[in-house]
Structure 1
């Protein structure tokens, strides 16, 4: 029997909060970061279109186990809508499909914003990763097919008009998982009778990571000039955020070393005393600040679901 292959790369774990540049795909960015850090595993928490810039949280190693918790977090986007054209991709990349000489007044723009706040129904763009009959919508769109994409429920927590000019307007939106900002631009234009598309898009926040945690790709690439590999990797590792920071929205349980050993063996630990935490479907446990497990607190026990380290 052949021996299992040893994974290539370093077993490093943590989050890198990349400031993704324009014209650089999310998958391409993950591959570049994985190569720079010589990491065994890498993945991102929420795709950014190539024409969009800004925050792309990238998980390395065991941090990939926490990706779903970041995917579910709130996001903030700053975006510009150019009026007068609706495009096939709802951004600059596509061809114009509808045009208009009309331009909206600032008062008219402000008047429609309440219609896009709260829980709303939104139809994703034709060029999106939504699956239709097992195929990605963007694959069908590239083949010239127009498909019916059902509306989905999304939540807009805050929508602000920052500035308006005759041909374009600047907005900021705070939204939940699954929201397409390109769809907002398309629908604004239709409601205002002038058509519109995204001409600039930047993501500035993905909960729980703040904007000041972002690292420009160019700053990381510049470290390739360090000839000593150990020194270069140490400089890169300084940008990593602890894996457990992705779980800050969950209840936290501090445990002993003995309890940590039990959890890492896949066994539950008993939680006794009047200060024992209340039952919750998900919580995370740390020992001396190190993430040990994600699990459920029920029937007086912490039961591990995902174990780290």
Structure 2
């Protein structure tokens, strides 16, 4: 069983909890990983790689993502969401006009500082390990891209947004920064990831539905999930590809999911000047 499981993660569990739960459904030892975590508070699309697909999960890590997020003004939190130590703060009301004006400054390429409670590594440890001990965490600002911010609702102090952004964007930091720009602070009250690249949460399955008898039915082939076009190679080129050989192909330059004549996924390859080079192949 090799492929990806598209999970609609519930709130209140970690991404690793989901991985452990799914792993128990298989009667044999199998590799399972995730392709980008979600906060415990968050729900939505979590893509798990199963079996040999774990070798190809890295191609999903850098995909753009879209979220629906709920926020509330007038509160601060050490985690930037309601799972943390939440405190009321004095804050003047924010009009919808001012809110929309502030949002305009967060579109495009911006710099943001990730939350202290994040999985970023510092001196070999995760940032949240230091933060949980009350130790000061200093993270450097990073550039991310906000492609769009659409207001779904606004009724001060509550609001909801749909945000589409580059990989590496912290929505919790975005909401905190919006709150600060509006003259106070804001926390995330709900968060749902609705897409990763071309994959929508509407294609995902609830973990409550999965069991040992049906989990295999929900595994999606690798080439249907990876963000590359398919390239079919015939024999003997399929063997050449698996053995790392380069050969000419009549397609445009770019990266491809390579399959054989039967549609079996062979791996990912790159075409340069009309020559296909294996990047990563399925282990035999």
Query: Which residue of the partner structure matches residue 200 of structure 1?
Result: 190
**TM-fit CA distance, 1:299:** 5.7
What are the superposed Cα offsets for residues 40-98 of structure 1, whole Å, 9 maximum, x if unpaired? Answer: 11111110011111110111011112212211111111111111111000011111356
Q: Which has the higher contact order (CA 8 A, sep 6+)?
A: 2
State how far apart, in whole Å, the 1-side matches of 2:237 and 2:30 are: 28
The answer as to 2:21 corresponding to 1:28 is no
State how far apart, in whole Å, the 2-side matches of 1:16 and 1:239 are: 6
Query: Which residue of the partner structure matches residue 230 of structure 2?
Result: 252
The correspondence for 1:93, drawn from 83, 86, 92, is 83
For the residue of structure 2 that corresponds to 1:32, the secondary structure is: helix
Query: Which residue of the partner structure matches residue 263 of structure 1?
Result: 241
Pairwise CA RMSD: 1.8
**TM-fit CA distance, 1:154:** 0.5
Structure 2 unpaired stretches of 5+: none
In 2, are the aligned partners of 1:55 and 1:204 still within 8 Å (CA)?
A: yes
Query: Which residue of the partner structure matches residue 289 of structure 1?
Result: 263
User: Which piece of structure 1 moves more, 49-58 or 28-37?
Assistant: 28-37
In 1, are the aligned partners of 2:193 and 2:201 still within 8 Å (CA)?
A: no
For the residue of structure 2 that corresponds to 1:33, the secondary structure is: helix
The runs of at least 4 aligned residues of structure 1 exceeding 6 Å deviation read none
Query: Which residue of the partner structure matches residue 176 of structure 2?
Result: 186
The answer to which structure has the higher helix fraction is: 1
Q: Provide TM-score, normalisation by structure 2.
A: 0.93
State how far apart, in whole Å, the 1-side matches of 2:75 and 2:231 are: 53
State how far apart, in whole Å, the 1-side matches of 2:274 and 2:89 are: 63
State how far apart, in whole Å, the 2-side matches of 1:42 and 1:192 are: 42
Structure 1 unpaired stretches of 5+: 1-11, 225-231
Query: Which residue of the partner structure matches residue 129 of structure 1?
Result: 119
State how far apart, in whole Å, the 2-side matches of 1:213 and 1:279 are: 30
In 1, are the aligned partners of 2:80 and 2:188 still within 8 Å (CA)?
A: yes
State how far apart, in whole Å, the 2-side matches of 1:101 and 1:271 are: 64
Length, aligned pairs only = 281
User: Which piece of structure 1 moves more, 129-138 or 42-51?
Assistant: 129-138
* Within-5 A mapping of 1:19-58: 19-38=8-27, 40-58=30-48
* Within-5 A mapping of 1:1-309: 12-38=1-27, 40-96=30-86, 99-220=89-210, 223=211, 232=213, 235-247=214-226, 249-264=227-242, 266-271=243-248, 276-280=250-254, 282-287=255-260, 288-298=262-272, 300-308=274-282
Q: Provide TM-score, normalisation by structure 1.
A: 0.86
Are residues 167 and 255 of structure 1, via their aligned partners in 2, closer, same or farther at CA, if it must alter by over 3 Å?
same
In 2, are the aligned partners of 1:268 and 1:301 still within 8 Å (CA)?
A: no
In 2, are the aligned partners of 1:208 and 1:245 still within 8 Å (CA)?
A: no
For the residue of structure 2 that corresponds to 1:297, the secondary structure is: strand
What are the superposed Cα offsets for residues 168-188 of structure 1, whole Å, 9 maximum, x if unpaired? Answer: 101110111000000011111
State how far apart, in whole Å, the 1-side matches of 2:244 and 2:71 are: 53
For the residue of structure 2 that corresponds to 1:116, the secondary structure is: coil
**TM-fit CA distance, 1:30:** 0.8
